[in-house]
Amino acid sequence: MVDSGAGRGRRLQLPAGHAAWLALVALVAIVATAIALRFVDLAVNPGGLFPDEAAEGLDAARLLHQPGFHADLLVWFPDDAGREALFAYLVAAAFAVFGHSVEVLRATAAACGVASVLAIGALGRRFGTWVGIVAAAWAAGSLWLVCVSRDGMRNTIVPFFGAVALIALLHLAARPGRRSALLAGAVTAVASLYTYQPLKLLPLLVVVWLVWLRHDDRARYDELRALAVPFVAAFLIVAAPILAVAVTEPANYFGRAAAVSTFNPDAGSADSLPSHILRTLGMFGLTGDPNPRSDVGGSPLVPPLLSALAAIGVARLWRLRHDPSHSLILLALPVFLIAPLIATEGGAPHALRTLGLAAPIGVAIGLGAVDTFRFARRHRGRAGGAGAGIAIAAVLAVTAVWAGSAYLSRPVADRYDAFSYPVATLSEMAAARPGSAVILDDYTAMDVEFIAFDRPPAIFEPGATIASPSDYTEILALSREDLSHAVGPDAAARASAVAWDPTGAPVVWAVVP
């Protein structure tokens, strides 16, 4: 397997003979695995509906059916702490074909997850066929990426666009020219500004990479500097709408990032900054995201054996750091670690804030696997190489099988609160009862607004008084206390529980006025 020279732009061919067929079979198996792990039981697992998911689905439904509704400058939704609109447009396209539902929302995310596997494989392919195969295999069976791909949120598009942006930058370095500069500038703008927070550091990566090349490969730096005008022009043209949002709505655009940063004294964190940093770095083989939506048995984001392969790959990137392609991936790792390191709100490692690392980690694992194979073959002959190849394939296969088993076997109790089952249940009941009213706060009410989009109930804030309860066929709430505030203690005393959590405790209450 020959993979040196990828950074110089030489097109690599599949290994001849049987190896080519083996690579093709492996790719088919990888894609099938990626599809299975992201779509099997998607209608019921994870179940419920987290309000951030509902926000994406609600805006997508509004784009299709609510006259005059659109994102700010067509690219930004100010609700739910501010969100890039790209994923909602993808969901709207899926709704237009399949109808709007929670399952279609999550299927859109799952399809993006499969596309991410292919994109990470294509990025790895720049370094050799088997680097790409291994990178794709890791992405297909990564429990971290499987969890993200099955949630209906915009985070799921980060690995895809991160990989595509790196491919565009590698293409620019390998084949400098006006056309490749325009393409790289445009793709960098889309990936960094229209997806999700971690990729906003892509422009920083480009700058750091150019500074590196200026000191390490002056000839290549001079070639790329000469293309700065078309690159920057394409970037600014594509980025103009979202930059206008940042200028005209700075509090909304920058608010969420500022709120979770370690520089905000009010950012909530269970750990001190040193502990947060150690836990984040522990994503490689040691620690998992404590958020129940991404936590499956406390497993690390990158399992130990694959972390070891990644370390071998990083050593390879360092040895070949004078090659522009290797230096770009090498620099991407620390640059994309910045976001999860400085965002201290919540638990660590944070599965969503680390997603910018997915594509370069895939390449590192692929390079580590190829170097391990070569080492075994060099020191143990063909049999040793074959044994190493089989062992690597077994690790990847076992990881994927374990990921699927661990994710799909999670009991409902582990997902119940994390995915807002009570709110989703209440929303489904309201949708099935025309003329009803619900008592929910603005955030959780997004569930009912999405699920009951075609037949919306009246929505009242907790603590509010419903002036004419008899106007509604039924009133639903998450507690008897909410009903007491809304309709009075006498009516609330007649309320009955209509849904229960896995322990048998009532979670949804209803009363007929």
Residue by residue, DSSP assigns 43-100 as TTSS-S--HHHHHHHHHHHHHHHSTT---BTTTEE-STT-EESHHHHHHHHHHHHH-S
- Give how far the C-alpha of residue 186 lies from the chain's centroid of Cα atoms, to the nearest Å: 21
Answer for the pair 53, 152: CB distance below 8 angstroms, yes or no.
yes
Amino acid 282 reads G
- Domain ranges in the chain are 30-414, 421-511
The dihedral through the CA atoms of 341, 343, 345, 346 has a sign that is negative
| Residue 52, φ and ψ in degrees, nearest 5 | -65, -35
C-alpha to C-alpha distance for 148 and 145, rounded to whole angstroms? 5
Q: What is the DSSP letter of 261?
A: B
Chain centre to alpha carbon of residue 329:
19
Determine the straight-line distance between the first and last CA of the chain, rounded to whole angstroms. Answer: 74
**Which residue in the block uniquely carries the two structure tokens 């700075």?**
250
Per DSSP, the residues of 362-397 read: HHHHHHHHHHHHHHHHHHHHHHHHHHHHHHHHHHHH
Taking the chain (513 residues) in runs of 10, the rounded mean pLDDT of each run is 41 56 93 98 97 97 96 94 96 97 98 98 97 98 97 97 98 96 98 95 98 95 97 98 96 84 68 88 95 90 97 98 97 97 89 97 98 95 93 97 96 96 97 96 97 96 95 97 96 96 97 94
Q: Which amino acid is at 66?
A: Q
Helix H or strand E segment including 477: strand 475-477
Return the number of other C-beta atoms located less than 10 Å from residue 458's C-beta: 14
Q: What is the DSSP string of 138-168?
A: HHHH-HHHHHHHTS-SGGGGHHHHHHHHHHH
Between CA 392 and CA 401, with CA 397 as vertex, the angle to 5 degrees is 150
Q: Which helix (H) or strand (E) holds 484?
A: helix 480-487
Phi, psi angles (nearest 5°) of residue 352 = -85, -40
CA angle 5, 8, 9 (to 5 degrees): 100
Q: Residue 150 and residue 45: Cα distance in Å, rounded?
A: 8
Exposed/middle/buried for 332, CB within 10 Å: 0-12, 13-18, 19+? buried
b/e 15-32 (16+ beta carbons within 10 angstroms → b): beeeeeeebeebbebbbe
CA distance 386 to 348: 38
pLDDT score recorded for residue 271: 75
**What confidence score (pLDDT) does residue 265 get?**
67
Nearest to 459 by CA among 444, 134, 470: 444
Q: Is the peptide bond before 274 cis (omega within 30 degrees of 0)?
A: no
The answer to whether residues 345 and 260 touch, using CB atoms and an 8 Å cutoff, is yes
Long-range contacts for 29-33 (Cβ within 8 Å, ≥24 apart)?
30/117, 30/121, 30/133, 30/136, 30/137, 30/140, 31/114, 31/117, 31/118, 31/140, 33/137, 33/140, 33/141, 33/400
- pTM, two decimals, is 0.94
Amino acid 374: pLDDT: 95
Alpha-carbon distance of 178 to 481, in angstroms, equals: 65
What does DSSP say about strands 458-460 and 83-84: parallel, antiparallel, or unpaired? unpaired
pLDDT at residue 259 in the model: 78
Distance CA 513, CA 510 (A): 10
**Residues 359, 122 contacting (CB under 8 angstroms):** no
Nearest C-alpha neighbor of 199 from the set 108, 56, 87: 87
Query: Is the separation of the CB atoms in 46 and 293 below 8 Å?
Result: yes
pLDDT of residue 257: 81
Residue 40: strand, helix, or coil:
coil
Cα–Cα distance measured from residue 281 to residue 13, given in angstroms and rounded to the nearest whole number? 36
